[in-house]
Amino acid sequence: MSLSLILAEDDPDIQLVARMALKRAGFAVRVVSNGLEAIDAVKANPPDVLLLDWMMPELDGLETCRRLRANAATANVPIIFLTAKSQESEIQRGLGLGAIGYITKPFDALKLGEQVKAVLAERT
Amino acid sequence: MTIRAKILGGLGLLAAMAMAESLLVIYVQRAITAADSEQARTADVLELHGQAWRALVVQKADRRAFLLSREPVLESRLPASEHAFDVAVAQIQGAVLDDEQRLRLERLVRLVDEWREQWPAVRASAALSAVPPAAIVDGVDQRFRPIEAVLVEFEDRQRVLADAARARAERVRSLAGTTMLFIPGLALVFMAGMAVAVGRLLLAPLTQLTDQASRIARREVTAVEQTDRADEIGILQNAFASMTESLRFREGELTHALRREQLLAMSQAEAAARAELANADLHAILDTVPVGLIIRDGQTGAIRLQNHAAVELWGQEPEDPQRRQERWARTRVRTRGGKELPQEAWPWRRALAGERIVGEEFEIEREDGVVIPTLVSAAPLRDGHGNVLGTVVAFQDIARLRELDRLKDEFVSIVSHELRTPLTSIRGSLQLVSADPDAVPDPDHRHLVDVALSNCERLIRIINDILDISKIEAGRMTLQPRPVTVADLVRTSVESVAAIAEAARVHIDTRIAADLPPVVVDPDRMVQVIVNLLSNAVKFTPQRSQVVVEAASRGNQVAIAVSDQGAGIPPEKLEQLFQKFHQVDSSASRRKGGTGLGLSIAKALAEQHGGTVEVSSVVGRGTTFTVLIPAASPLVAPRPVHLSSSSSSSIARPVPKRVLIVDDDDDFRLAVRRQLEAAGYLVVEARDGEAALHVARQTAPDVMTVDLMMPGMDGWELIERLAADAALATIPVIVVSAVADRAQPLRGAAATLSKPIDRDGLLREVSLALGGRRDATVLIAEDDADLRQVLAQSLVREGYRVVQAVDGEDALAVFDRENADVVVLDIRMPLLDGFGVIRRLRDSARGQRVPIVVVTGSDGEGRSEVRAMSLGANAYLAKPVDAANLARQIEQVLTARNET
């Protein structure tokens, strides 16, 4: 059974590439374009994992993460950041909000799926 | 010859002279007497001769008269004249000395005798009367004639003798006179000679000496000749000469010394002038530099010297020690991370203890509550024996630098983000295309896709390296050191390059010495260093050859050497090797996909770990790069290397953090352990302070909770011991105790919780202590010091950086300096009220968009709130302010700002 995944990403090109890369790895992918949509999508149907961009309109990834973690209904959804923010402090900040992984852009399209699976596997 | 001998000699000479004079006088006297008596004698002889003559003449006359007259009387007179003649002759005989005269006298006597004897015959013949008278007279005369002749002869001669005697006497006299005259003359001459001699022998040298002595007295010392005279004068002169010589020598010395003194005095004066000038320069420099400098006396703690910038930064320090104490008591010093430091750990106190501090950053809160980010350097001032006399401390207000830093980071981060986003699409697209063998059927086209992809990869590496190097150069590469084994580091690094090594058909041979001590490094960064060297080696070693990684102890360092079998690097090019964008053979390395930054990054990172990178190379044989890092104490327990993130791998995941619980209550420890473990933490425990120190050294926890009341070493002592141990001082400590006062955080503690604790409070403090800090600065402008403190502390606990202002004007100044992200503003403040601050902020370029949270006193009608909001405030809170509510408001306004 394929893992369900929500990709929150505002850049359509990256949406395309990431979706293809993840589908290739066997994920069932839903794509949203900002934090608010992500929260709605998670609430509507909690995925196995949420890939979250940081810089997004409406609600950024950090705040999205914070809100999801603050809500008991969504607190347990595993969140992995997928962002161009690659500074150590930024990574620590993202992980500090309760994300289980942090993948920096530009990601390796051929390994992205495996990386997500590895992070999920390590968690359990 | 001594003077005494000379004088005696002189006196002797004088005596001899007198003697000779006396003898001469006697002799002359004698000569005169002799000449006189001779003269008298000759004169007497002449006189006697005359008498004798006269006697003879009388006799002859008598005889003639008798013969003529025959008068008996006449005859009777004859004996008388005879007698007279005899007497005279006898006298003459006694007086005549002249032999000739004597002979004449004898002849006379003889003739006279003969004449006398003829008398009776004559008388008789004459009696015959036949004889004429004339004949008789003739006869008498005849017979007398020879006598007369002798008489005349005698007299003539005698006269000659007498004349001679007289002449001689005359001569003797005149000679005596001359002689007598000559003697005093001689004496005079002698005396004069003596005088001259005395003068020349005694007085002249004495005068000369006196002269010289007086010249010496007049300080004109001229040389006195040594003499070979052996007398006292000679000795005196020689003594004097040597005295003069030594005087002259001494004088020379004195003159010399004087000149030296003068020169010294001159140079001292010059030096003093120069020193004054230098001092003036120094003060000018000190007052011009933008760095505050304070030299403080170690004994009294009083300021000995401070410059203008120091006064600007701190204000004038009170003279009164007690006021000073109060001032210090109100001053807070925090680390950059916000940890409040006890006074003993303040930089100037550390300097007083002998430590040198070079450019450490502190957040210093002045007594007026203003927080100044400060770069502090400090050093002890020591005397010649090494005793600390005081401290010199340099403060630099680095708010502006922080701002520049922030801008640069922002710039770099934006650029990198803006580049990364398109690169992500390009790379992903190319990867997906090239991964599908059917997507590009034409091999040439497939090759073109590969070229695009590999250059895309290279571009990504360059961006990562530039980010790294800019961070390192800005000193913002923060390490997260932990104890790890060298074997782990090397293994992880080799794994990272395994793929490229395999692609290049290079075998990596790993040789790790047994018993290597662990190292305390940031594993991500140290792996980056080794990977940089390894990937270089793989690139430059020929296909099917070997790259050797060798780890060994070297002194108190660990050396990790990476050797290739490549072409080697000429010695003259070794130095440039670590320069940025330097490539020995740029075309070759470009072909191999290098960025030209790898070695500079490796070296900088090694140096940041207190180590270095060395290189040695033999052309034609290969190159060896050696990373040297300080070995850690074998006592520290190494942890496994988990790469949290690195530029080479784009994935990061949270590393489980280790929490050390220090408490003597077993139940409490168990409860806390469960809570923390449920939240994903690793937990270690200790029952008292002593055990805690041991466990902390062994396990290097990321955070500690510490109970205060414990048997043995209690919590207070433990916190002090932790702060004093360099290896443990950086571990955040959360005090969890029944006696802790939450409002009064303990010095050295990151946070304080009172028992019983709630789960959320503990988890929040732990995650905050672990660096879950927010990178926003909140400015609290509030004139009430207590409220300001409470708000500030609650926000600090939430992870914000807090700066404070005491009135409206201050708020504007602090805002400008600190570049606050949020302003919390009291409305009622002195100097400039909250409304004024809002208006001024909104009119300024930087304050235009800053979120403002207004805190108002409750006037019941909300007019202030309305007015504030209309002026441009973003949110309001009514007093009494709830700290949690304030934190929520701040988070909301910050989020809102980020979204726009």
Q: What is the average pLDDT score of chain A?
A: 86
Pick the residue of B653, B798, B899 with the most A CBs within 10 A to test the interface with A by mutation: B653
Which tens digit of pLDDT belongs to each residue from B113-151?
Answer: 888 888 888 777 776 666 677 777 777 778 888 888 888
Helix (H, G, I), strand (E, B) or coil at A50: strand
What is d(CA B678, CA B656) in angstroms, rounded to the nearest whole number?
A: 12
Query: Element (H or E) spanning A83, and its range?
Result: strand A79-83
B31 band by pLDDT with thresholds 50, 70 and 90:
confident
Does residue B797 or residue B270 have the better pLDDT? B270
3-class secondary structure, B875: strand
**SS3 of residue B516 by DSSP:** coil
pLDDT digits (tens, 9 = 90+) for B610-629: 888 888 888 888 889 999 98
Residues ≥6 apart with Cβ < 8 Å to A2: A26, A27, A28
Query: Of A86, A102, A105, which is closest to B653 when you measure between CB atoms?
Result: A102
Please tell me the distance in Å from B471's CA to the nearest CA on chain A: 9
Q: What is the pLDDT of residues B730-766, one digit of tens each?
A: 788 888 887 766 545 566 676 777 777 777 778 777 8
With beta carbons less than 8 A apart as the criterion, state whether B343 and B328 touch.
Answer: yes
Q: Which of B416, B478, B770 sits opposite A84 (nearest CB)?
A: B416
Name every chain B residue with its beta carbon within 8 A of the beta carbon of A55. Answer: 417
Least confident of B405-414, B440-449, B767-776: B767-776
Cross-chain Cβ contact B645/A91 below 8 Å: yes
Q: What is the pLDDT of residues B545-567, one digit of tens each?
A: 888 999 888 888 889 999 988 88
* Cα Dmax for chain A: 37
- Residues B569-577: what's their mean pLDDT? 80
Quick one: tokens of B644? 């949290």
Q: Answer whether B416 sits within 8 Å of A55, measured CB to CB.
A: no
Tokens of B391: 């401290």
Residue B538 has pLDDT above 90, yes or no: no
Of B35-39, B412-416, B457-461, B663-667, give the range with the top mean pLDDT: B663-667
Residue holding tokens 């006021």?
Answer: B323
| CA nearest neighbour of A107 among B397, B426, B386, B369 | B426
pLDDT confidence of residue A31: 94
Kindly report the pTM of this predicted structure.
0.44
Residues 39-98 of A with CB under 8 A from B: 55, 57-60, 63, 84-93, 95-96
DSSP letter at B340?
Answer: B
Contacts of B523 in chain A (CB under 8 A): none
Q: Which residue has the higher pLDDT, B593 or B302?
A: B302
The rounded mean pLDDT for chain B is 81
Task: Dig out the tokens for B889 from the structure.
Answer: 């408001």
Residue percentage of chain B with pLDDT more than 90:
2
Q: Residue B444: what residue type?
A: D
Cα gap B595→B579, rounded to integer Å: 12
Reported as a single tens digit per residue, the pLDDT across A59-102 is 888 888 888 887 778 888 899 999 888 777 778 778 877 788 88
B466, B607, B709, B723 from B536: Cα distances, Å: 18, 19, 56, 42
> Residue B641 above 70 pLDDT?
no
Cβ neighbours of residue B46 under 8 Å, at least 6 residues apart? B155, B158, B159, B162
Q: Which residues contact B24 (CB under 8 A, 6 or more apart)?
A: B179, B183
Q: Please state, as a whole number, how many other Cβ atoms lie within 10 Å of the Cβ of residue B754.
A: 15
Q: What is the pLDDT of residue B68?
A: 79
Q: Which residue has the higher pLDDT, B304 or B224?
A: B304
Distance of alpha carbon A15 from its chain centroid, rounded? 12
- The pLDDT, as a whole number, for residue B655 is 66
Give B385's DSSP letter: T
Question: Could you give the CA distance from residue B148 to residue B111 in angstroms, rounded to a whole number?
Answer: 10
Q: What is the pLDDT of residue B649?
A: 46
Residue given tokens 């034409």 in the structure block? B442
CB B523 within 8 A of CB B484: yes
Report in angstroms the alpha-carbon separations of A28 from A47, A111, B383: 9, 16, 76
CA–CA separation, B344 and B690 (whole Å): 22
Question: Using one digit for the tens of pLDDT, what is the confidence trace for B98-110?
Answer: 888 888 888 888 8
pLDDT band at A53 (very low <50, low <70, confident <90, very high): very high
What ipTM was estimated for this complex?
Answer: 0.83
Is pLDDT of B646 > 60?
A: no
Query: Residue B590 above 80 pLDDT?
Result: no
Q: Which pLDDT does position B645 carry in this prediction?
A: 46
Nearest to B766 by CA among B879, B647, B680: B680
- 8 Å CB contact of B898 and A60: yes
What residue in B sits closest to A95 (Cα-Cα)? B654
Which residue in B718, B691, B704, B682 sits closest to B751, CA to CA?
B704
Report d(CA B149, CA B656) in Å as an integer.
191
DSSP A52: E
The three-state (H, E, C) secondary structure of B735-798, written as one string: EEECCCCCCCCCCCCCEEEECCCCHHHHHHHHHHHCCCCCCCEEEEECCCHHHHHHHHHHHHHC
By the 8 A CB rule, do B508 and B497 touch? yes
Cα B725 from Cα A52, distance rounded (Å): 42
Query: Which amino acid makes up residue B426?
Result: I
Helical pair B72-95 and B99-126, crossing angle rounded to 10 deg: 170
> What are φ and ψ of residue B275, in 5° steps?
-60, -40
Question: Would you call B425 and A16 a contact, using CB atoms and an 8 Å cutoff?
Answer: yes
- Banded model confidence at residue A123, pLDDT cuts 50, 70, 90: low
Stretch B585-600: mean pLDDT: 65
Six-digit token string for B292: 């505050």
